[in-house]
Structure 1
């Protein structure tokens, strides 16, 4: 294109003797002049306190303030680190591309093809990447795509063939585009509204500084490295400073991609290869789920652990905090579910095929989500459910020795991949929990080995996604368990209480919740103690009254002496 424009200029303007590079610089200068003229004529932007503050703040101080405002979030740190790494690699490629092409024996046309291939791949990655990799979570996709782009950059530095370099650059541009669009999308979603503008300004300023720095430093590094020749038996390969510098940039991009991936990995105990395998089967989208509106909290665990008690206590606490709460259960959370519950838990049903049992639970859950949970979430309520699909995975999967992944797949299909915001697992040895039950239904009557397998499966599930699961020790008292639960629930950002609080005091929320719970527990303990003392006093008074009414002929003194001895023995 530049060659055509240059030829046109030479034909129209006889005295013009510039090259294609000169034409590009003239066009660039004209665009900057037009932008400056447009900005100069803007009169509607008022200058307030922010403008005064901005004029007093230097670039370095602005960057430091920006980093302080975003470094509190692990996810944002990973994003910013990844973007900086990506532009370090990009700056090295842009600064050394012409030299690299020349070393491969190409001229201006080859340089144009290579440059065009980069941006073609970049455009393809931005346009089609989010659709092709729609099943992957954005957090994983960002770090993984940046790492792969760095690997392709390393490959580009090692390739001595221009044709192969063009195809490598296409792939490099595609994964860079995926990383770029994913990163900026996440930055918009993860950052709070009141600091989003400042965060974007910080990121863009940091990227510009890094890019300019790399463009200036990369040629110096390439010149310092110089040319090196390697001999392997009868083969001789020469690499110059440009290739070595691009290799270093690729290694840096790969390393930063790995760091970003681990910083933002949303399911730390699930490997990337497992996600890739599930994506090829078309199942990953239903495993990771889609973001849902509202707050959905689920209680899980074995029998006799106190789930129902804790669910009611949490409901009361949330209502005190101004939330509208819907408390439900499975099976039996809907009118249809009540009838299914009778079939599943009644001894009169007799033995049910494990697969039929799993399907009945899935049917109950599908209607429960449709009739109760989704409408409540859409209305902005907090939904608390006593059991959800993890119970099917544990009971029908591990307990009945079906394949847990198959049971999970059925439940995901039944619920349209509606995942809880938080799943609270109360962990207690099966023997202790079953010992608390006064009567047992059909499922509770299963052997102890069945219930131990269920317990172990719940623990395994919690290890897959620590951000979504919260395990609490069921051996504690009711108040101690409740205290731990509200401390964790109070960290949910979308609760009304958190919206009302000062956003600068995020770290104090769990502490405040625990303090409040401790005060509540202390009041209850004090009330119980007062009641116990009052009962003891009344008992002593009654004993004294009875003793005073006894006939004088009997010898109460002997009995009075025996009573303390018996009490002490007890």
Structure 2
């Protein structure tokens, strides 16, 4: 039994964090993650300090990074199996204690070989600790809160890199400005960072030890499938599925290119004249960008299909990385690093979402295991190879000579190798995009231009009555909710008009038969748009405007947003032109509230039999429609309510009522209500 709140309460960040057991686990995770990132910075800085010579420093840093990944490649697939057969609370508590103790020994021993040993041991423990933590979350939150809880955990894991970078940079600045303050330590700020790291793990263990919601004993696992079978089935599924193949190519290639940057970041900063503080700032910039990309990237790119977002973000990150490697100024590099992180974050969260949506449930676990193994393997290889390449390149000079007789362009091995990684990222992005794009609808450039244009805030709102529009894709339940809303409002004594588009006028019914009847066949996209606009003009003039004038509550099933979504995003038409037509047809009359019932198109199209001309369009067409609805809602949240259409009908009705009720102040009560609300 979890300590979560009422099952009927919609999940939110606040509601999840109000669960005492989850709050303690989240605090422990935050401390562990902070220590982990701080430890990575300190270990790479220590390796850089203990090695002698440019090539040796590269190899030492790469050794630390490579050894962080190597255990995942070797024992990663077995970690979940082991975690399920040990007591979870014991794993979490003693895993933190053990990692903390290991980090505390590093400054005491103070040798490079011990840094390598501790890195391997800590990663081995973390591989078991992570699955135990993930498996414990469902035991301490309500099932309805699980998705939000996982998002909080993910944000904490990666977001803690930013304060870790700030702490490390601050310590190095103090060590440089006032070396006597840390003079009692052999390596100053680096040793102090490692001690703080060790203590953060120990405190995390103490916090998690207070948890009582995690069941004692091992989990009940029923995995008869062998490791070899899991890998083989994952490989064969990826090989024969085009979309998943494109995702794997993109994710593995992105990890490889990212590994080059991570492995050479410390040396690259040194080449640009920065020290440990500069390295910390650059490290933090990556994760600031990633956090923004994870949070805002998918929202800003909602008008693109997820498949296009993934490929476009990879290509964009490669192009920006190319500029980053070519610019020899640390300040500019830091700014560009934020952009690279943003695009990488958007690609990462989109790729993971696509894997969850595109891969059938029966092979999803095997596919994730395969992808995880391949990405770690790619990362491990490049972490080992990149410093070797950078060391072998040394220095490269070319171009016309300046006044001193030196070549104009001068790069060291780290920058040249990063430039190579940027080219790899662009190539991978193009290959991934070509594998995943269905080549239907508008071009990628057209879609990208759309992301920069969201509809404006101007418009006319009726001073009398209340205008409510229900929008969403096929099978999302708009008609059901419209009827329920009408019934409730009628019971409350309001004058209610229930209407719909297209087809709720004499002219509209004829237009509806043209645009929706499959026998109509193919018609021009512009013709279709104009037919819908004609229906809207007649609908507003004959039905909506008179009802609002008398103070009625008008509830319409579809309105202008449907035209923007279906004809603007679904067809290869320019958004601005479609919007101008639709707004002109309706006199720019806007609803006081638009309710968007959001549902995966594949799920919506299975809710009914028999499809009209629009419903027969491709899944990608309907995905673009859904993305536009969400983009419109995200642009003006004060005028929209987005509801998950998978919720029970009664729950959706309750959420709609709560949002509609404050808008009824100008609506007329006790007026006669005839059949379907028609005056």
What TM-score results when the alignment is normalised by the length of structure 1?
Answer: 0.50
1:1-400 to 2 correspondences below 5 Å: 1-2=167-168, 16-25=185-194, 43-46=216-219, 48-50=221-223, 53=225, 57=227, 62-234=230-402, 235-268=407-440, 270-282=442-454, 292=473, 294=475, 336=505, 340-341=509-510, 359-362=533-536
Contact 2:264 2:414 in 1 (8 A): yes
Moved more, 408-417 or 107-116: 408-417
Provide closer, same or farther for how the CA distance between residues 113 and 344 of structure 1 changes in structure 2, counting only shifts above 3 A: closer
Structure 2, gaps ≥5 residues long: 1-166, 457-470, 478-499, 515-526, 543-553, 559-565, 587-593, 623-679
The alpha-carbon deviation at position 339 of structure 1 amounts to 7.3
Structure-1 residue corresponding to 2:72: none
Q: Deviations over 1:95-136 (max 9, x none)?
A: 101111111122112212211211111112222222222222
**Separation in structure 1 between the aligned mates of residue 575 and residue 180 of structure 2, nearest angstrom:** 75
Q: Which has the higher contact order (CA 8 A, sep 6+)?
A: 2
Is the CA contact (8 Å cut-off) linking 2:247 and 2:351 kept in structure 1?
Answer: yes
Superposed CA offset, 1:184-209 (max 9, x none) = 22222222233333333332332222
Contact preservation (8 Å) 1:121, 1:172: yes
Residues of 2 paired with 1:93 and 1:46: CA distance?
39
Q: Deviations over 1:303-348 (max 9, x none)?
A: xxxxxxxxxxxxxxxxxxxxxxxxxxxx999674587429999xxx
Structure 2 residue matching 1:232: 3-state secondary structure: strand
Query: Which of the pair has more CA radius of gyration?
Result: 1
**Equivalent residues, number:** 358
CA contact (8 A) 2:502 2:509 kept: no
CA distance in 1 between partners of 2:427 and 2:332 (Å): 24
Partner of 2:161: none
Distance change (3 Å), C-alpha of 1:332 and 1:57: closer
TM-score normalized with structure 2 length = 0.43
Q: Deviations over 1:444-489 (max 9, x none)?
A: xxxxxxxxxxxxxx9xxx9x979669xxxxxxxxxxxxxxxxxxxx
What is the Cα deviation at residue 241 of structure 1? 1.4
Change (3 A) 1:4 1:116: closer
Alpha-carbon separation, structure 2, partners of 1:365 and 1:265: 38
Once the two structures are TM-superposed, the CA of residue 153 in structure 1 deviates from its matched residue by: 1.1
Structure 1: distance between partners of 2:184 and 2:535: 85
Indicate if the aligned counterparts of 2:315 and 2:426 stay in contact, CA closer than 8 A.
yes
Give the CA deviation at 1:34.
Answer: 8.6
Distance 1:185 1:356, change over 3 A: closer
State the match for 2:653 in structure 1. Answer: none
Residue 282 (structure 1) shift: 3.2
Q: Distance in 2 between matches of 1:160 and 1:279?
A: 32
Per the alignment, do residues 170 and 344 of structure 1 end up closer, same or farther by CA in structure 2, a change over 3 Å counting?
closer
Q: Which residue of 1 aligns with 2:636?
A: none
The CA distance in 1 between the partners of 2:204 and 2:184, in whole Å, is 28
- Distance verdict in 2 for CA 1:62–1:220, change over 3 Å: farther
SS at match of 1:134: coil
Partner of 2:159: none
Can you give the 5+ residue segments of structure 1 that lack an aligned partner in the other structure? Answer: 285-289, 297-330, 346-353, 375-387, 398-402, 427-457, 470-570
1:333–1:372 contact (8 Å) kept in structure 2: no
